[in-house]
Structure 1
C-alpha cells in the first residue's frame, strides 16, 4: 500500500492507494484537514494496519489452521495429543470450512456445522472437542489481529451427555480371568484389573520400574500409536501421572511367574533384543496398543462376558476399590487423577452409596 502526505496551506492531507478494482484500476482514498504532519502520519499508519488486517482476515481457513497448528499449537501439547487433534482438524474442520475466509465464519455457520456433525453420528463429546479446537484457532486469529471478534464465543455447541460407565461385576471379572488362564497376555490383563493402570502405561513398563520385594510399581512412561508417526514412547510428565502404586502379594506372585516364563521363552525367539520390557513382542520390543486391543476383544468373546473397553478395566478397578471402602483420595492417587474431585465426579454412582453407608455409620456411632 502506497501513501503520501501533502501540506496544503496550514493543514495536511493524506492520499493512499488501497488496491485495485475488478478492472485493474487503482483505488485511492484521501483525507485532509490534519492540523499537524504527525496527525496525518498516525492516520496513514492506522489505515495501513486496517488494510493489512482486512487482507489477512480474508486468508482461507485451511491455510490459516495449518499455519496455526504447526507454528503454535503442536509445540504446546503432547505429541499424542497433537496427532489426535490434527486428525480431527483434517477430517472435520478442513473438509467443512476449507477455503472459507476467516472473516466470513459466523456463529450461525458454526451452529450449522455442529448440527451436521451430530447428524453424521458424532457424539456430543466429539462435537464439543471440535468446538474447543475452533475456539483455539479463531482466538489466536484475534490475538494476531487478523479478526476483530471470535464467532465461536457466541455459537451454541451441544452439551456433553455423560455416558456412565458400566464395568463388569466381580462374577463377570472372575469369569473373564478364568477364561484367559494360561493365555498370552494374561498377566497384562490381571495387572490392568488389579492396578487400574492405563493401557499405554502397562505397555511402557520395564522390569526396573517394579520392586517385587517391596510390592511397588513406579510409572515413568507410556506407549502410544500416533497417526503418521507410528509407535512412540513418551515420558509421563505430570506429578500425578508419574506415580508409584502398591501391588498385592497376588500380583507380586503373578509378575514373578511371568518374569520366569519370559526368561525361558525369550531364548527361543530369533533376533530377540533385551530391553527389559515387561510386556514385549517376540522381538523384545514394545507392543502395539492396537494389537493388545484385538487380543482383549478376542478374550471377551471367549469368556462370554459383556463387551467393554480396556479403559473400562480401569473403571472396574476404581469401582471395586470405592465399594470396598477405600478412601477416594487413595483411589485418585492410584489412577493418577489430578485431584480427588475428578475421581468422585467419574464415580458418582459409587460415591452416593458410600455416602449412604457413612450416614448409617454415623447414626450407629451416635446412638451407641
Structure 2
C-alpha cells in the first residue's frame, strides 16, 4: 500500500512507484516519511505522484476516502457513513472512474445530474446525491486539488411534497388478520409500531429492560443500526428529543407481558440475562431489518385489498390515529421524539382538517 504506518517511528509514510526508468531500467520510487496523520498522507500521495513522476492527479476515489476520514474525525454516525458509502458505490464510483478532477466544470456536473434524472430518480433523491458530490469537491478545494467547486453553480431541482401513506385502524386490522400463528413475533412488532410510532431501528433496539409493565411505558434510548462493515450495533438516539417515554395501552401491556414469558421459555437456554433480549426476538440470533422486511413482504402477498405502505409509514399511521382521536400536537411531538412542534406541524399539519387554524394559532410566536 502506498500509504502505511512506519513501524519504527509510529508516524505515517507515503511510498510510491513511478514504474521503470527507460534509460537505466531501474525502478523509480520515492518515499516521504514522518507524516503525522493518515489523512495528511492520503492527501499528499497524489501530489507527490504529479510532482515526482508527472502522473495524472486526483481521483474521485481519493476525494471520497478523504471525505470519509473527515467524517470519522468529526464523529459522524455510522448510519450516515453507511448511506454515503452506498450512494458513492451506486452512483459515483463508475461514472467518475476515469475523470480528471481538476478538469471538471459545471457542464460535466450538469450532464451527470441529467443521467440521474434519466434514471427516473426523484428530485429529492437527486438533490441529496448532488449534495454529496458537492461535499467531495469541497474536499478537493480544501486540500488544494482545485480552486473551486463546480457543483455550486447548479441550483437544486424543485421538489414536490411527498404524498404521505398510512393505514386506518380498519386497514391495520386487516393486515393483522393475515399473519399465521408461527409469525406472531412479527405480528407483535407491527402492532407495537402502529401503537407507538417508534422507528424501525428503535423497535429492533428495544429490550425488556426498556419496558415498564407497572407504569405501562416504553423507554426509547437506543436504536439498532448496521455499520458500514455490515455488523449490527446499538447507537444512542440522534438527538436529546429521541430519548423519550411512550405510554402504551392496557391490552398491549398484557400482550407484551405474555410474550415475554413465552420468549424466555424459548430463549433462556441461549442467553445469560433474558432481560437483555430484543423484545421481538424469537431465535438465538438478533432480529434484524432484513428479516422484518422479508416477513412484511411475505404477509402483504396474501392480499390485494390493502395498499402497500413502507414500514416507516407505520409511524405515520400512528400519528394519523392520534390526530383522528383529537390528540394534542404537543403530545404527538413527545411520542415521536421530534425536537420541536414545528417539525411535527410541518410534517403532519395537513392531517388536521378540522384543527388547522387553531393549531396555527398555537404556533404563532413560538418560532
Q: TM over 0.5, yes or no?
A: yes
Seen in structure 2, the aligned counterparts of structure 1 residues 309 and 63 have a Cα distance that, compared at 3 Å, is closer
Aligned to 2:132: 133
SS of the equivalent of 1:69 reads: helix
Give structure 2 stretches of 5+ with no counterpart: 1-46, 361-367
Cα offset for 1:348?
3.1
Change in CA separation of 1:189 and 1:137 when aligned onto 2, cut-off 3 Å: same
Q: Write the distance in 2 (CA, Å) between the matches of 1:163 and 1:342.
A: 15
Task: Provide the C-alpha distance between the structure 1 equivalents of 2:174 and 2:263, rounded to a whole number of angstroms.
Answer: 25
Aligned equivalent of 2:14: none
> Is the Cα–Cα contact under 8 Å of residues 202 and 222 in structure 1 kept in the other structure?
yes
Q: CA deviation at 1:325?
A: 1.8
Q: Partner of 1:215 in structure 2?
A: 216
Matched, 1:68 2:69: no
Answer with 326-335 or 64-73: which moved more.
64-73
1:224 paired residue number: 225
Mapped partners of 1:184, 1:110: distance in 2? 50
* Rounded Cα–Cα distance in structure 2 between residues aligned with 1:356 and 1:262: 48
- After superposition, give the CA deviation of every residue in 1:108-162 in whole Å (9 maximum; x if it has no partner): 1111111111111222222111111012111232233332221211113422232
Q: Indicate conservation of the 8 Å contact 2:241/2:339, yes or no.
A: yes
Larger radius of gyration: 1
What is the alpha-carbon distance in structure 1 between the residues aligned to residue 93 and residue 262 of structure 2? 50
For 1:294 and 1:255, locate their aligned partners in 2 and report how far apart those are by CA, in whole Å: 23
Counterparts of 1:291 and 1:276, CA distance in 2: 17
Indicate how the Cα distance of structure 1 residues 107 and 224 shifts in structure 2: closer, same or farther if over 3 A, else same: same
- The answer to whether residue 309 in structure 2 is matched with residue 311 in structure 1 is no
Deviation of the 1:311 alpha carbon: 0.5
The 3 A distance-change label for structure 1 pair 177 and 113 is: same
Question: How do residues 207-356 of structure 1 correspond to structure 2 at under 5 angstroms?
Answer: 207-266=208-267, 271=270, 274=274, 275-283=276-284, 285-302=285-302, 304-355=305-356
- Give the CA deviation at 1:237: 4.2
Cα separation, 2, equivalents of 1:281 and 1:69: 40
Counting only pairs closer than 5 Å after superposition, residues 104-119 of structure 1 correspond to structure 2 as: 104-119=103-118
CA contact (8 A) 1:114 1:157 kept: no
Contact 1:196 1:335 in 2 (8 A): yes
Deviation at 1:297, TM superposition (A): 1.7
Distance 1:132 1:98, change over 3 A: same
Superposition TM-score, scaled by structure 1 size: 0.75
Q: Deviations over 1:171-211 (max 9, x none)?
A: 11121123337442221111000000011111111111111
Q: What pairs up with 1:166-205 in 2 under 5 angstroms?
A: 166-180=165-179, 182=181, 183-185=183-185, 186-205=187-206
Secondary structure of 2:225's match? Answer: strand
Aligned length: 307
1:153 aligns to what? 152
In the TM superposition, what is the alpha-carbon distance from 1:356 to its structure 2 partner? 5.6
Map 1:3-18 to 2 at 5 A.
none
Structure 1 residues not aligned, in runs of 5+:
1-51, 360-368
Q: CA RMSD in A?
A: 2.8
Instruction: Decide whether the 8 Å contact of 2:266 with 2:282 is kept in 1.
Output: no
CA distance, structure 2, for counterparts of residue 108 and residue 144 of structure 1:
23
TM (normalized to structure 2)? 0.75
